[in-house]
Chain A
Amino acid sequence: MNDLLGVVDWSRAQFALTAMYHWLFVPLTIGLSVIVALMETIYVRTGNARWKGITQFWMTLFGINFACGVATGLILEFEFGTNWSNYSWFVGDIFGAPLAIEGILAFFMEATFVAVMFFGWNKVSRGFHLASSWLTALGVSLSAYWILVANSWMQYPVGCDFDPAQMRNVMTDFMAVAFSPVAVNKFFHAVFSGWTLAGVFVIGVSSWLLWRRSNVEAAKSSIRVGAWVGLAGILLTLWTGHGSAVEVARVQPMKLAAMEGLYRGSNGQSLVGVGVLKPESSRTADDPMSFSIDIPCGLSLLVYGNTTGFVPGIDDIIDGVTVNAQGDSIHGPSYADRIVMGKEARKALGDYEAARKAGDTAAMESAAARVQAYYSNFGFGYLPSPEAAVPNVGLTFYSFRVMVMAGGYLLVFILLVLFLSYRCNKWLENKWICLLGLLSIAVVWVCSQSGWIVAEVGRQPWVIQDLMPTSAAISGISKSWVQTTFWIFAAIFTGLLIAEMSIMLRFIGRSVKRDIENPKH
Chain B
Amino acid sequence: MSTTVPGRIWALYRDGFRSMTVGRSLWALIIIKLVIFFAVLKLFFFPDILGTEYDNDTDRAAAVRMSLADGAGSLTETNQ
Contact = CB atoms under 8 A, between A and B. Distances in A.
Contacts, number: 172
Interface stretch (A115-123, A145-153, A433-441): A115-123
- Which of A1, A119, A124 is packed against the most chain B CB atoms within 10 Å? A119
A384 B41 contact: no
A507 interface: yes
Given A67-B30, A461-B75, A471-B72, A81 B46 contact: yes
Interface residue tally on B, bucketed by range: 35 or more
Contact of B13 (A119, A383, A503): A119
Contact of A388 (B13, B61, B68, B77): B77
B78 interface: yes
Interface residues of A, number: 73
Interface in A341-369: 346-347, 349-350, 352-353, 356
A483 to B, nearest CB: 12
Interface in B19-78: 19, 22-23, 25-27, 29-30, 33-34, 36-37, 41-42, 45-51, 57, 60-62, 64-78
Contact of A63 (B17, B23, B80): B23
Nearest to A393: B80
A488 B41 contact: yes
Contacts of B30: 67, 70-71
Interface of A: 1, 4-5, 8-9, 60, 63-64, 67-68, 70-72, 74-75, 78-79, 81-82, 85-86, 88-90, 115-116, 118-120, 123-124, 164-168, 346-347, 349-350, 352-353, 356, 382-385, 387-388, 390-392, 457, 460-461, 469-472, 474-477, 484-485, 488, 492, 496, 499-500, 503, 507, 521
Interface of B: 11-13, 15-17, 19, 22-23, 25-27, 29-30, 33-34, 36-37, 41-42, 45-51, 57, 60-62, 64-80
28 contacts: A4-B72, A9-B78, A63-B22, A75-B41, A78-B46, A79-B46, A81-B46, A81-B47, A82-B45, A82-B46, A85-B64, A86-B64, A86-B68, A90-B64, A119-B12, A119-B16, A167-B61, A349-B68, A352-B69, A382-B74, A384-B77, A461-B80, A470-B79, A471-B72, A472-B67, A488-B45, A496-B33, A500-B29
